[in-house]
Structure 1
Amino acid sequence: MRYMLIVKANEDSEAGAMPTEQELAEMGKFNEELVNAGVMLDGNGLLSSSVGARVKFSDKGKTTVVDGPFTETKELIAGYWILDVKSRDEAIEWARRVPFGPGGEIEVRKVAEEEDFGENFTPELREAEQRLREQVTKQHEG
């Protein structure tokens, strides 16, 4: 099962504050533990919303782009990990080990798998999705 550990943004991350050398070293050590345990698929920090944008969709198919920054930090993400673990409990145990101090927050969310979509995800749609995944893998190899 894949889970996303979502690092919630805070005032510091939204102000563009970069981690200290010690914080980067601690995070590197944690990432190494994830890799050595064979559970880390991906992970990255995100820059503040001031360099981001939101694309909003209307009921008439039009889109509107809103440039950051965005004011509600509780709704923002500062980083993430994608883990391949056996259970929700295992994902939570990894989240508990993230080297954050007071005020840090991690949201744990299961990544949707094929079976989660039920019968609406027909065999034809599954095959098309698999072809796309294979194409993406080929595009990013070596």
Structure 2
Amino acid sequence: MVFVKATEDSEKGFARTPETEAMMEAMGRFNDELSAAGVLLMADGLKPTSDAKRVAFDGPRRSVIDGPFAEAREQVAGFWLWEVKDMDEAVAWVKRCPNPMTGPSEIEIRPIYEPVDLA
């Protein structure tokens, strides 16, 4: 799974500007490449954490916490689910990715547990 990390700007919500329009077009072309290569299983962007809720668990108790949540760079702004042969292939694809934000940003790659990992 590939996570696009949030930024202070992404936590403000999506604003249509010439810069964001160009970024979205470039990302669309990249997603088309992933799809044509048989790598892309799923992808989407997430609304800011101001629209989010968290449910905290403590034994049988549940409490709901309303967003927004602190530390934008620790949040996720979007994701891809890819099927690749190994981490090296995932890194190679991420290196080809257009910048997903209008400024500095990060993408995190995390493997998903396979049934063999849990045996």
Give the TM-score normalised by the residue count of structure 2: 0.90
Tell me the residue number matched to 1:123. Answer: none
Question: In the alignment, residue 7 of structure 1 is paired with which amino acid?
Answer: V
Equivalent-residue separation in structure 2 for 1:102 and 1:52 (angstroms): 23
1:44 is paired with a residue whose SS is strand
Q: Does 1:7 align with 2:1?
A: no
Counterpart residue number, 2:33:
33
Measure the CA separation in 2 of the matches of 1:93 and 1:117. Answer: 27
**Partner in structure 2 of residue 85 of structure 1:** 84
Residue 115 of structure 2 is matched in structure 1 by 114
Task: Figure out how many residues of one structure are paired with residues of the other and give that number.
Answer: 114
Amino acid corresponding to residue 74 of structure 1 in structure 2: R
* Alpha-carbon RMSD: 1.3
Moved more, 13-22 or 38-47: 13-22
Say whether the 8 Å CA contact 2:57–2:63 is kept in structure 1. yes
Task: Give the Cα separation in 1 of the matches to 2:74 and 2:85.
Answer: 28
Shift of residue 32, structure 1, vs aligned partner: 0.3
Q: Could you say which structure has the larger radius of gyration?
A: 1
* 3-state SS of 1:80 partner: strand
Please list every run of 5 or more consecutive structure 2 residues that lacks an aligned counterpart in the other structure. none
TM-score w.r.t. structure 1 length? 0.76
- The one-letter code of the counterpart of 1:26 is A
Report which of the two has the higher share of helix: 1
Matched with 2:50 is: 50
Say which structure, 1 or 2, has more relative contact order (CA 8 Å, 6+ apart). 2
Unaligned runs of 5+ in 1: 119-142
CA-CA distance at 1:110 after TM superposition: 0.4
**Identity, % of aligned positions:** 45
Deviations 1:39-70 (A, max 9, x none): 00000000100000111000x31111001001
